[in-house]
Amino acid sequence: MEEHEMSPNEYLTVLKRRKWSLVLPALIVTLIAAAVALLLPPVYKSVSTILIEEQEIPANFVMSTVTSYAEQRLQTINQRIMSTSRLLEIITRLDLYKDMREKSTTEEVIEKMREDISLEYISAEVMDRKTGRPATATIAFTLSYEAQETPATVQKVANILASLFLEENLQVRERQAMEATSFLSDEQKKVKANLDEIEQKIAEFKQEHINELPEALQVNLQSRHNVQSSKEKLSEQLRALKEREGALQSELANLSPRMEMEDIKRLEALKLELNSLESRFTEQYPDVIKTRQEIEKLRKKIATVKEVDPNAMPDNPAYITLSSQLAGVQSEIDSVKRQYNDLQKNEDNLNRWIEATPGVEEIYNALLSERKNRQTKFDDLSQKLMEANVAYGLEKDQKGERFTLIDPARLPELPDKPNRLAILLIGMVLGLGAGVASAAVMEFTDESVRNVEILSRETSFPVLSAIPRIVSAEDVRQQKLRRRLIVLAGAGIVLVAVLSFHFLVMDLNVFWAKVTRTLGW
């Protein structure tokens, strides 16, 4: 048959002819959607809102040791709370997912609870204090729990999760502050031990090179100059003493240690003098007479001495005096020599110390530089440790950044899921589409000729006669069946209408409750 455009009357005719193909699928799909909406268990949801408050004391006064951002810390806390042990404890304590635990594994139950817990951030545009530019910051977050449990159980789980977040945040911040304090304290002890070790090295080095240190250089130079001046003075004194010693030795060589020897020498000298006088003068000359008398006196004196002992002690006063003077000079010479030798040794030591000073100074400066670095690091760690202790007190007293529960979990009065009205409306739309599709398919697959006009138009031949429809017993039976179906369809439509009204009222109540809760009415 050739295709042609259908008139509105023909569409009405098709609608009357395919009314059951249209109504029955639409009715069936709508009933199925209504049954699904009715049989789906209610899912209740409870939400807690937690505000992220900044620390009360300005950061200029007390710098917190917790440097992580709120989002990062929330993710860390979330991972801790979502651990298997924590969730399993909550499930066991509140007897959650009773039916699922009988059919599924523990891991599947815990994973289901993780899916039912939702963490959402609440952000706002704020001014960044460092850059002065607007930035997005998390100022609060919501923590919700939804499940096919009783409203009281859902609320209790939501409250437990909120309290866990609050407690974990306090513990995390206090633990981080304590770890920072402990770390700085350990580092300070290590640096202090190193500093003490370096101090000990410096003390031992100074003790070992006490005279070679840089600060002793000027003293050593001045001491060497003084030693050299003293040596020059001693050298001059030694020359004078040696000259004095030579003179005394010359004088002493002309004297005898004992008086007898001196008398003999005197006698010989007088004899020579007498011979000289006699050769020039007469015997009556006074000097000759005097000399002869003195010679005679010495001969008598010498004649009285029996024998001269060479080992006898000197008794010549002049000799003794000169000998004493010579001994004193020699003793003084020895003393000057000892002093000179001591000064020479001292000068040698000073020269050695002065020559060793540059090398010692290099090592000493390296030790001092290392001590200075360690001392600087120790002072820096001490300052940071003091700040960390203050920051720990800040966290311990809960004066730092903290989470505040501003909207605790409420008892859900109406289920959050499923949206029965939406399911029913979608079922009705799908049912209508299924009915239209079914009627269209049956119509377009049916090649029957329904009236004379269609036959004449399709064949281009005139129709001579038409046989009217003959109603048989089978037709009567089918008509009765259709009436029964109409009654059942009417009952179904009434049921669908009642359920639709019920769901509509319920969902409107839920919607209105959400609106009033959001607006705070």
Q: State how far the Cα of 89 lies from the Cα of 53, in Å rounded to an integer.
A: 30
- For residue 77, being part of any structural domain is answered with no
122 three-class SS? strand
- Number of other residues whose CB lies within 10 A of the CB of residue 29: 20
Q: Which residues pair with 121 in a beta bridge?
A: 141
The CA-CA-CA angle for residues 477, 478, 479, to 5°, reads: 90
- For residue 311, give both structure tokens: 């080992």
- Position 198: which residue type? I
Using a CB cutoff of 8 Å and minimum separation of 24, what contacts does 90-96 make? Answer: 90/157, 90/160, 94/153, 94/156, 94/157, 96/147, 96/149, 96/153, 96/157
The burial class, CB within 10 Å (0-12 / 13-18 / 19+), for 484 is exposed
Within this chain, do residues 323 and 243 fall inside the same structural domain, yes or no? yes
- For residue 392, being part of any structural domain is answered with no
Q: State how far the Cα of 278 lies from the Cα of 264, in Å rounded to an integer.
A: 21
202 φ/ψ sector (left φ>0, alpha ψ -120 to 50, else beta): alpha
Within this chain, do residues 369 and 486 fall inside the same structural domain, yes or no? no
Within this chain, do residues 423 and 351 fall inside the same structural domain, yes or no? no
Domain end: 360, 382, 404, which one?
382
Within this chain, do residues 378 and 438 fall inside the same structural domain, yes or no? no
Within this chain, do residues 348 and 446 fall inside the same structural domain, yes or no? no
Q: State how far the Cα of 421 lies from the Cα of 42, in Å rounded to an integer.
A: 13
Within this chain, do residues 487 and 441 fall inside the same structural domain, yes or no? yes
Q: State how far the Cα of 203 lies from the Cα of 209, in Å rounded to an integer.
A: 10
Q: State how far the Cα of 46 lies from the Cα of 409, in Å rounded to an integer.
A: 6
Within this chain, do residues 229 and 350 fall inside the same structural domain, yes or no? yes
Handedness of CA 287, 292, 295, 297 (dihedral sign): negative
- For residue 485, being part of any structural domain is answered with yes
Task: Judge contact between 302 and 225, C-beta under 8 A.
Answer: no
* Alpha carbon distances (Å) from 429 to 71, 124, 417: 43, 41, 21
> Domain span at residue 2?
1-40+419-462+471-521
Question: Directed axis angle between helix 8-17 and helix 19-39, to 10°?
Answer: 60
- For residue 460, give both structure tokens: 């281009």
- pTM score above 0.85: no
- pLDDT tens for the 521 residues of the chain, in order: 445 555 666 667 666 666 767 777 777 887 787 777 777 778 888 888 888 776 665 455 445 544 456 677 788 888 888 888 888 998 888 888 888 888 888 888 889 899 989 888 887 776 665 566 776 777 788 889 988 888 888 889 989 988 888 888 777 777 777 777 888 888 888 888 988 898 898 888 888 888 888 888 888 889 889 988 998 998 998 898 888 888 877 776 666 555 455 556 666 677 777 777 777 777 777 777 787 777 777 677 666 654 444 554 555 566 677 778 878 888 888 898 899 899 899 989 888 888 888 888 888 888 888 889 988 888 888 888 787 777 666 566 556 567 778 888 888 877 777 777 777 788 788 878 887 787 777 767 766 656 666 666 666 667 666 666 666 777 678 777 777 776 776 676 666 656 655 555 555 555 555 555 555 55
Task: Judge contact between 61 and 87, C-beta under 8 A.
Answer: no
Within this chain, do residues 253 and 370 fall inside the same structural domain, yes or no? yes
- For residue 62, being part of any structural domain is answered with no
- For residue 445, being part of any structural domain is answered with yes
Q: State how far the Cα of 354 lies from the Cα of 341, in Å rounded to an integer.
A: 20
Within this chain, do residues 252 and 357 fall inside the same structural domain, yes or no? yes
- For residue 13, being part of any structural domain is answered with yes
- For residue 117, give both structure tokens: 């817990």
- Pairing state of beta strands 134-147 and 117-127? antiparallel
**Neighbouring residues of 261: CB distance < 8 A, sequence distance ≥ 6:** 308, 316
Q: State how far the Cα of 245 lies from the Cα of 337, in Å rounded to an integer.
A: 14
Domain end: 334, 361, 382, which one?
382
Within this chain, do residues 241 and 302 fall inside the same structural domain, yes or no? yes
Residues in the chain: 521
Domain end: 382, 407, 442, which one?
382
Within this chain, do residues 337 and 479 fall inside the same structural domain, yes or no? no
- Position 35: which residue type? A
Q: Does residue 418 have a cis bond before it (omega within 30 degrees)?
A: yes
